[in-house]
Structure 1
Amino acid sequence: MAYSEAAQQQLQERRGTDAHVLLWFQARNRSTGAPETLGFWSGDDHREFLVDGEIRTYFGAGSVIDVPPIIAAPGFSVREYRVKLPPMLDEVKQLLQQYEPRHAEVHIHSAAFDIDTGNLMPPVNRRFKGYLNKAPEELGPKGKPSHTQLVLVSPARKLTQGLPLKRSNSELQRRNPNDLGREYSDVAGEWPVPWGG
């Protein structure tokens, strides 16, 4: 990860840091099926950032965003990270209700700001790239916890998934309505078969 000269100098001075977390989601729209994007950051106001060569708009969620320390290590371990977002934001409701959040692609970036001027010190560095593994079915009523917890997993999670859609009865019928080759595959193992029958 690369820091600008100004950011490196600020770190060497050890006077403190002003860093913010940026969350970026790419999920399918439940109505159209098209991929759409949505971003949040730990600042107070909506802001645009130049990330990976494109300008992205991030909605301000303030200090309510809680992201654990990201562990970067080689290997195929599936790492889980629990991220908390404020449920009262319209954009969080949009992520959970209008989009299909499960298995959405997630990027976490960090942005360093000058502690004297408050100016952004580019570049914005990526800390995590993975997938959303669990999200609440619905937002709780008043009086419930004041955050929405999302569970993110590292890309190694893809190595643990099978390919059931290519072999399920519903998938075969979607391709060809007359294909009944796996019609009873989910219950066939439970049928008693008499010896010699």
Structure 2
Amino acid sequence: MESALAARLAAAPEEGIAPVHFVWIVAKDRASGTPSPMGIWSGDEDLTVTVALPDGTTASRAYLGGLGLEVEGLQYVADLTDNPVTVTLSQIAPAAQALVRGLDVRLAPVEVHATTMTGGALTSAPQLQWVGIVDEGPISTPAAGGAGGIALSIRSEIMTQLGQVNPAKSSDVHQKRRAAGDRFSEYAAVIGERKMQWYKR
């Protein structure tokens, strides 16, 4: 964490804090399937900033503002709890419409960066906070006079993979499909029916 951001967080109880979030979503074109990345942030104007990537490098990215972006549910735990992050957008913003209706966001990779603002300027370069994939993206259409929105549920891809059930069977056929000479499960189908005393041949 950059020293300027650490100092701002330390002073938050006395001076308050104005957090800002940056969300990078790599959706797909519905027709061609090609990646169509889009950056959005919680400010009002468009902004180009340099952010740290998950692989340790940096990149300059353009982020669109004025979408009513809110990020909730960021938690840091020491166990394998699956805590999805919710990214909320205004459904009437043209960029939000283009993202969720014009592009395919299902399982789209997402990066969430955050920093704070001090005197109308960013306290530091946005820091990487979360890496995941879009799990759900319901669009709430309100009644007349009501409030709607778009809520993207971002889950950790690692936790998603850990929670999935592996359909592969530990059978001789499956093992040989992976490696023709594999004999590890050669007797797997019948070994359960065999009754053998360990001291007899």
TM-score (norm 1): 0.70
2:161 to 141, 158, 161: 158
Tell me the residue number matched to 1:94. 98
- Runs (4+) off by over 6 Å: none
The equivalent residue for 1:25 is 25
| Contact 2:85–2:155 under 8 Å retained in 1 | yes
Structure 2 contact 22–126 (Cα < 8 Å) conserved? no
Identity of aligned residues (%): 23
CA deviation vs aligned residue, 1:29-57 (integer Å, no higher than 9, x gap): 11221112111111011111111211111
CA contact (8 A) 2:140 2:148 kept: no
The 2-side partners of 1:83 and 1:99 are apart by 17
Q: 1:79 is paired with a residue of what secondary structure?
A: coil
RMSD after superposition: 2.4
Structure 2: segments with no counterpart, 5+ residues: 53-57, 169-201
In the alignment, structure 1 residue 59 sits paired with structure 2 residue 64: yes
Q: What residue number does 1:40 align with?
A: 40
CA distance in 2 between counterparts of 1:128 and 1:88 reads 26
Q: 5+ unaligned residues in a row in structure 1: which ranges?
A: 167-197
1:61–1:85 contact (8 Å) kept in structure 2: no
- Secondary structure (helix, strand or coil) at the match of 1:150 reads strand
C-alpha distance in 1 between matches for 2:10 and 2:86:
31
Mapping of residues 1-16 of structure 1, within 5 Å: 2-4=1-3, 6-13=4-11, 14-16=14-16
Is 1:80 matched with 2:89?
Answer: no
Counterpart residue type for residue 117 of structure 2: F
- Equivalent positions of 1:114-125 (< 5 A) are 114=118, 116=119, 118-125=120-127
Residue of structure 2 in register with 1:126 after alignment: 128
Q: Give 1:132 shift.
A: 0.5
Query: Any conservation in 1 of the 2:22–2:63 contact (CA below 8 Å)?
Result: yes
Give the deviation of 1:104 after TM superposition. Answer: 0.5
Any idea what SS the aligned residue of 2:15 has? coil
1:140 match: 141
SS at match of 1:75: coil
Which residues in structure 2 correspond to 1:96-115 (within 5 Å)?
A: 96-114=100-118
Q: What SS is found at the alignment partner of 1:49? A: strand
Q: Quick one: structure 1 residues 73 and 147, their matched pair in 2 at CA, closer, same or farther if it must change by over 3 Å?
A: same
Q: 1:161 to 1:147 in 2, by over 3 A?
A: same
Cα drift, residue 121 of structure 1:
2.7
1:193 counterpart residue number: none
Separation of aligned partners in 2, 1:69 and 1:161: 22
* TM-score (norm. length: structure 2): 0.69
Q: Give the aligned residue type for 2:130.
A: F
Q: Secondary structure at the match of 1:10?
A: helix
Computing the radius of gyration over CA atoms, which structure comes out larger, 1 or 2? 2
Kept in 2: contact 1:107–1:129 (CA 8 A):
yes
